[in-house]
């Protein structure tokens, strides 16, 4: 589990830099200000959670079911949230918005929230 979190954290970080540069340079001319901000939101959340995955993988054993579920929430939530935003903004800029992706973004966001709740709960358990 640690290796999975480290590899995906590194991959998400790498892709966030690539997508951020792509958005800043290649998409600036073809995207509206609103679409560009949405795309940037996906990049930011992807980078935040890439860093979080790396931090958690170096500081926790990730052996309990609680920790594993938390990591899966962050991995899947990041993918669903950020990549659905990329798909929505890119397809909308081409005039062929993929509406199926619309409901996926909040599902990804919900998984991220659950991951953060599980992280908070693990801290609370250590206090009590």
Backbone angles phi, psi at 62, to 5 degrees: 55, 40
pLDDT score for 71:
98
- pLDDT of 99 reads 87
- State how far the Cα of 80 lies from the Cα of 69, in Å rounded to an integer: 16
Q: What is the DSSP letter of 26?
A: T
Output the pTM of the full model.
Answer: 0.94
- Residues of the chain scoring pLDDT < 70: none
Q: Which pLDDT value is given to residue 52?
A: 98
Give the tens place of pLDDT for each residue, 22-48. 999 989 888 999 999 999 999 999 999
- What was the pLDDT predicted at 29? 84
């Amino acid at each position: 589990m640690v290796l999975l979190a480290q590899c995906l954290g590194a991959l998400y970080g790498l892709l966030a830099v690539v997508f951020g540069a792509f958005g800043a340079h290649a998409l600036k001319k073809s995207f509206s200000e609103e679409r560009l901000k949405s795309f940037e939101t996906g990049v930011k959340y992807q980078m935040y959670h890439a860093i979080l995955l790396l931090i958690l993988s170096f500081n926790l054993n990730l052996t309990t079911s609680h920790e594993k579920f938390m990591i899966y929430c962050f991995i899947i939530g990041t993918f669903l949230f950020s990549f659905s935003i990329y798909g929505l903004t890119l397809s909308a800029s081409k005039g062929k918005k993929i509406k199926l992706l619309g409901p996926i973004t909040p599902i990804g966001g919900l998984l991220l929230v659950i991951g953060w709740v599980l992280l908070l709960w693990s801290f609370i358990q250590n206090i009590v």
